Amino acid sequence: MKNKTNFPSQEGEAHPSRCPDNSAFKQQRLPAWKPRLNIATVLSSFFLTGAFCLTVGVCLILSANSVREIQIDYSDKCSDCSKFRENSSNWNKECHCSVNFTLKEDILGDVFMYYGLQNFYQNHRRYVISRSDAQLLGRNVNIQRSYCAPFTTYRNGTPMAPCGAIANSMFNDTIDLFYNRNSSVIQVPLLKTGNSWWTDKNVKFRNPESYNLSSAFAGTARPPYWQKPVYLLDEEDERNTGYVNDDFIVWMRVSAFATFRNLYRRVRRIRHFVDGLPAGNYTFRISYNFPVSKFKGRKHVILSTVVWSGGSNPFLGIAYVVSGTAATLAAFVITAIHLKLRKKKTYFQRQ
């Protein structure tokens, strides 16, 4: 048998070329620039970077240290209520406790109140995804197809609103602040709105459309650990209830660490508190609803001011100082090596 080889019978039947077009861009003939580093350029870059980082780091640390902050741990001081909450049959009963403290100096300016949790892990994968973003946008969705399980429906088939483990574990202690002034007790006015991000309040969270919220959430039930339905989260302000409640929105932004704080209230600067919190004796009155003893957690209330760089966290400033120190030390090491090698080169040239 003869071997048959297929050759194109005509020039037009040959395969087209796969080479790029003969253009300056595709053939990489465009003008280019490449820095030619010398010792002066390298050392100046390292020294300037080190000086910049050290300057910014020192400014950030000084700014963080200027923040006035007081932190009150009420886990042990409310131990009776903690034991009361360990009994699940008391879920619909109230328990109150008080914590006294003293401000030795005035806290001037805007004062923010945070609640802090310790040893509460929100970074578990199943916990983080246990929510329905479509439901939180006010849409009528089948939450059985979401990641909310097992907090989707009750045994009778009634869906939960909102569903998921994050919403079910929402922090629900109520904290009020009182100022003891000349044998009289004055309640510190606190703002409970304006504590969430604009994008959360106007984009990521919306209530179902209806003529009132009770009818909008008809056919749903509150999560198991909640004491009241979602449309009653704020009975005084209808613009701050349901899925657009500030406390709920802040809680749904999970933390990456086991110890964290969330913004709870802001001091309203009127009457006795127009300049901030004056020095004196204060009392936190707490409606204790959030148990932490089962996971060996702790609860705090933090009163703090803020500055242009944020709160009293010096981590960013320390990071800049460490980076600037490393860059400066590297510059000195390079300088020493350069001087040593130049000295050797000069010696051999003389020889």
33 domain-assigned? no
Query: In this predicted structure, what is the pLDDT of residue 92?
Result: 78
Q: Enumerate the H helices of the chain as residue ranges.
A: 39-65, 79-86, 125-128, 133-136, 165-168, 198-199, 213-216, 246-252, 315-350
Same domain, 247 and 140: yes
Tokens 């127009």: give the residue: 274
264 domain-assigned? yes
351 domain-assigned? no
Same domain, 62 and 75: no
Residues 6+ apart with CB under 8 A from 345: none
Query: Which phi-psi region, left, alpha or beta, contains residue 259 (left: φ > 0; alpha: ψ -120 to 50)?
Result: beta
pLDDT, tens digit (0-9, with 9 covering 90-100), for 78-126: 989 988 888 877 777 889 999 999 999 999 999 999 999 999 999 999 9
157 domain-assigned? yes
Q: How far apart are CA 160 and CA 72, in angstroms?
A: 34
Same domain, 111 and 194: yes
320 domain-assigned? yes
Q: Which domain holds residue 185?
A: 69-305
Chain centroid to Cα 204, Å, comes to 16
Same domain, 132 and 250: yes
191 domain-assigned? yes
31 domain-assigned? no
Q: Would you place residue 13 in the very low, low, confident or very high pLDDT band (cuts 50, 70, 90)?
A: low
Query: In this predicted structure, what is the pLDDT of residue 1?
Result: 47
Residue 2 has pLDDT above 70, yes or no: no
Same domain, 61 and 93: no
Same domain, 57 and 134: no
Q: How far apart are CA 279 and CA 269, in angstroms?
A: 15
96 domain-assigned? yes
Residue 224 has pLDDT above 60, yes or no: yes
Query: In this predicted structure, what is the pLDDT of residue 350?
Result: 64
pLDDT, tens digit (0-9, with 9 covering 90-100), for 138-192: 998 888 888 998 999 998 889 999 999 999 999 999 999 999 988 899 999 999 9
Query: How many C-alpha atoms does 322 have within 13 Å on its Cβ side?
Result: 6
Same domain, 159 and 285: yes
pTM, whole model, 2 decimals?
Answer: 0.81
Number of domains in the chain: 2
Same domain, 224 and 299: yes
- Determine the average pLDDT of the residues in 13-26: 78
Q: How far apart are CA 147 and CA 165, in angstroms?
A: 9
- Determine the average pLDDT of the residues in 59-83: 92
Same domain, 292 and 252: yes
Q: Would you place residue 6 in the very low, low, confident or very high pLDDT band (cuts 50, 70, 90)?
A: low
Residue 7 has pLDDT above 60, yes or no: no
pLDDT, tens digit (0-9, with 9 covering 90-100), for 259-306: 999 999 999 999 889 999 999 999 999 999 998 988 889 999 999 999
Same domain, 50 and 111: no
Contact between 45 and 275 (Cβ < 8 Å) = no
